[in-house]
Amino acid sequence: MSLIEQNGCPLKTERGGRVFPESDHSSDIIRCFSDMLIKAGVDVRLNTKVTDILIKDNSCYGICIKTNNKEEKIYADSVVLATGGLSYESTGSTGDGIRWAKNNGHDIKTCRPALVPFETKEEWVKEIQGLSLKNVSLDMYDEKKKIYSGFGEMMFTHFGITGPLVLSASSYYASYIAKKPDRKEFVKLNLDLKNALTEEQLDKRIIRDFEKYSNKQFKNSLSDLLPSSLIPVIVRLSGIDPEKAVNLITREERQGLVKILKGMELNMSKTRDLNEAIITQGGRSVKYINPSTMESKQIKNLYFCGEMIDVDALTGGFNLQIAWSSGHLAGESAAINDQ
């Protein structure tokens, strides 16, 4: 953080220790690092495609590149693979580095999208696309087994749900399904829209609202409790006649409404694909990387860092921290090796 701020990009720390640029623009981070590269005199080659790594006798000694259809070999004492995972292909993360590593005998854990929105089977999500909710909780279950539980912000989309809370849940989902792919169809989401209230407290709150709107129809009695766009969905899910007078709603119907508000069920279809994933889960197995140097245990003078390796975290700068810390260590180790 000090390094970034000293180079002209002020930071802020939000709830949960999440760190972002004060501007909320990722371009400021890019500009900061670009300026640092220039100051350090780094030879940055644009419009240059790396086609392979050079290996002989279990030792890496350079790379193959292509510029304007001209192929060339660059010889080096050390090579650091920092080509990223498979997310954000437009930035160059096309999986080249992972492929080179796999072709040269490295163990690669299956790459999957993580920190990614969920698609759900419910069609009604389309009716409320764009609706953001704060201070809600989300639980993920495989039947009775809880996979994830979190609290925060989320948003409905035309295909399902997204937002910080959902992105965090997706990482746990990816890890779970990697171990139990046959359980994919059994995973369900449970959304608590009124996390701050117990069922009893929420029931009392609804009773007060029903007393206030006692002469209105049920569909017109929830404006103090829910966002307007969500009301028709909740009314439909409750099974209560929307035209029914509030003062005729039974205790059982009211408590059924409480159950829905405290446990709106969503059926998982799948996650969105890697093009929408913030990070890639999987990659080079850490078992075969020297944790003191980031050097491959199989091929000398070859180093790994960032999303190349099978390490990931939740949102809030933690994945960037993994990239920078592992990259710093790999770079320092490679530089020592060059001396």
What pLDDT was estimated at residue 315? Answer: 82
Classify residue 160: in a domain, yes or no: yes
- Report residue 236 as tokens: 């439909």
CATH number for the domain harbouring residue 308: 3.50.50.60
For residues 224 and 99, what is the distance between their CA atoms, to the nearest angstrom?
55
- To the nearest 10 degrees (0 to 180), the angle between helices 251-262 and 199-212 is 120
The answer to whether the CB of 283 falls within 8 A of the CB of 294 is: no
Statement to judge: residues 105 and 125 lie in one domain: no
Statement to judge: residues 205 and 252 lie in one domain: yes
Note down the domain range covering 137. 117-193+265-272
Classify residue 6: in a domain, yes or no: no
- pLDDT beyond 80 at 337: no
- pLDDT beyond 70 at 80: yes
Give mean pLDDT, residues 291-295: 96
DSSP one-letter string for 156-179: E-SSEEESHHHHHHHHHHHHHHHH
What pLDDT was estimated at residue 329? Answer: 97
pTM here is 0.79
Classify residue 20: in a domain, yes or no: no
Statement to judge: residues 141 and 188 lie in one domain: yes
User: What tens digit of pLDDT does each residue of 232-243 get?
Assistant: 999 999 999 999
Beta bridge partners of 11: 21
Share of the chain above pLDDT 70, in %: 99
Statement to judge: residues 334 and 308 lie in one domain: yes
User: What tens digit of pLDDT does each residue of 135-175 get?
Assistant: 999 999 998 899 999 999 999 999 999 999 999 999 999 88
For residues 56 and 149, what is the distance between their CA atoms, to the nearest angstrom?
49
Classify residue 133: in a domain, yes or no: yes
Statement to judge: residues 306 and 290 lie in one domain: yes
Ramachandran sector of residue 90 (left: φ over 0; alpha: ψ -120 to 50; beta: rest)? alpha
- Name the domain boundary from 272, 307, 328: 272
Statement to judge: residues 94 and 138 lie in one domain: no
Classify residue 2: in a domain, yes or no: no
For residues 118 and 127, what is the distance between their CA atoms, to the nearest angstrom?
16
Amino acid letter, 113: P
Statement to judge: residues 92 and 146 lie in one domain: no
Q: Are strands 118-120 and 264-271 parallel, antiparallel or unpaired?
A: antiparallel
Statement to judge: residues 109 and 125 lie in one domain: no
- Name the domain boundary from 272, 295, 311: 272
- Report residue 220 as tokens: 């017109």
CATH number for the domain harbouring residue 246: 1.10.8.260
Statement to judge: residues 189 and 203 lie in one domain: no
Statement to judge: residues 165 and 189 lie in one domain: yes
CATH number for the domain harbouring residue 132: 2.40.30
User: What tens digit of pLDDT does each residue of 107-137 get?
Assistant: 888 888 999 999 999 999 999 999 999 999 9
User: What tens digit of pLDDT does each residue of 215-226 get?
Assistant: 899 999 999 999
Classify residue 217: in a domain, yes or no: yes
Classify residue 180: in a domain, yes or no: yes
What pLDDT was estimated at residue 338? Answer: 64
How does residue 21 score in pLDDT terms, banded at 50, 70 and 90? very high
| Domains contained in the chain, number | 3
Classify residue 16: in a domain, yes or no: no
What pLDDT was estimated at residue 339? Answer: 61
Secondary structure (3-state) at 336:
helix
User: What tens digit of pLDDT does each residue of 175-205 get?
Assistant: 898 889 899 889 999 999 999 999 999 999 9
Statement to judge: residues 92 and 49 lie in one domain: yes
- Name the domain boundary from 228, 250, 272: 272
